[in-house]
Structure 1
Amino acid sequence: MHVRCPSCQTVFRLPPRALETARGLVRCGCCDALFDGRLELVPAYTSEPEPGLHDDPTRATVHEQPDRAPELADTGTGAAMDVDPDAILDHDEPIRRASHPAPEEVLGLEQQLAREPRRPAHPGRTLLLAFANVLLLGLLGVQLVLGLREPLLAAPDLRPWLERGCAFAGCRLPALRDPERVEILARDIRAHPRFGNGLLVDVTIVNRAPYTQPFPVMQLTFTSLDEQWFAQRRFKPAEYLGPNRGTAERLPPDIPVQVVLELLDPGPEAVSYNFDFL
């Protein structure tokens, strides 16, 4: 049988028994490459050898690669050479490796890397990163609460939870206030019964908010006939609440409350008045 060296394309004539004894391993006598001869078998030659072969009886190298393998005559002395399997196996020169690893080697390396345990992170660094993350989340939460303070405090569903949190932390939530939701149900202005230059104003207000809130500051504005601002005064809760009510009392929702205001008469130029809650 004939085998071809995959490295230098030299064709050898090799007895089948020698190939079987060497388990298919063949070392090229020209380039010293080691290969599996069972994978490089060449069909037997039937015609005369072409002149491109060496006359050296020890080796034969094909210098050009035609479309088909050159045919060698099966003569006793020609272009083919006999290979000693013992010489192949006893050769001490190391085998040259391919430039690219075989797929089996790559797969074995990946499996070995997957089995190797990863180096654990340093405990101190892990704790430091965890502390930094918690600190950043805390700062983000504080900014969110400060930015949405009024809506959060006014939310009736969140109010009980916020109060519990403040009770645990030892803080105090500010009272809910929405003066714009305080309405006037009735009002009456008349001369003061005891002071000749005074006025007495009776006002009935109601809190339309769904929660109790502090009494608002009441602003009374007088305007002239041409609707120009003429006189104005603000009344704090301590000024218009009766003696039986303290300033700490709150305005409950949807319950009318009557208050009385006392003030000096601004004069005949004041023909109308208006209330605002601050």
Structure 2
Amino acid sequence: MYTQCPECLTVYKLEAELLVPACGCVRCSHCETVFNALGTLAAQLPPEPFTRLTEHALDRDPPLAGVAVFRPRPATEDVTPTPLDEPANTDGDAFDTHDDTEDFSQLTFTPRFAKPRRRSWRTAAWVLVCTTLVLGLGAQLAWAKRDVLIADATVGPLLASACDALGCRLPLVSAPSQLRLLARDVEQHPSVQDGLLITASVHNDAAFAQPYPVVTIVLSDANGQRLAMRRFQPEDYVGDAAIRARGLAGGATTAMVFEVQDPGQRAVAFAFSFD
């Protein structure tokens, strides 16, 4: 802050602590004049050149300090009740006084936040809706990943046990790579001329049931030249629809019989593949 001596017009820079001892009055170090520094007190100097600082009127009503930053709490007073004078009776004896003060030392006060609150029906309905949505989302994800879950070595048996208990049936998971050909045989068809009867024994190495595969049989000659090929759908070699619906159980072995036309004496080799 800045102030100016009214006699020699010297401008001084001062701190607020200098205004406290003499209620704003200071002594000019140049001319020894004592003056009220509040009359020309300024936060900043005006642009040069200047001669006098702006003077403030000091005879106005005190301004209102409205922006409070701190207010101490009022101290609690320990008020001790003053005993009343005991009135005397007509016989000169004092009246008996009774202490009617109640003893609250055994009371237990429970904080408001610790009291149980009753849940409204809206809260229960909201929780029910959220739970239903979460379960529905979980069911959708499980159905989308059903093949992976059923084929899993840990989750698959648990799902199978749950379905056995509930009387349901797990969907079949196709895994042709886990079908293993154990034995095969080709012989002349007993009742069809120029026909061959091919028998194959297939084992399901998977721990879960899978649908009967599409079987491709290729007949070739001694040079490996393909002579004939046919793809057999499950209904071509499994006539019972109920058996096809159950699929090939996990770890089970089944016999498959196929009827093909004899391509002649040149056919000396045949191959199986599963799709």
TM-score by length of 2: 0.49
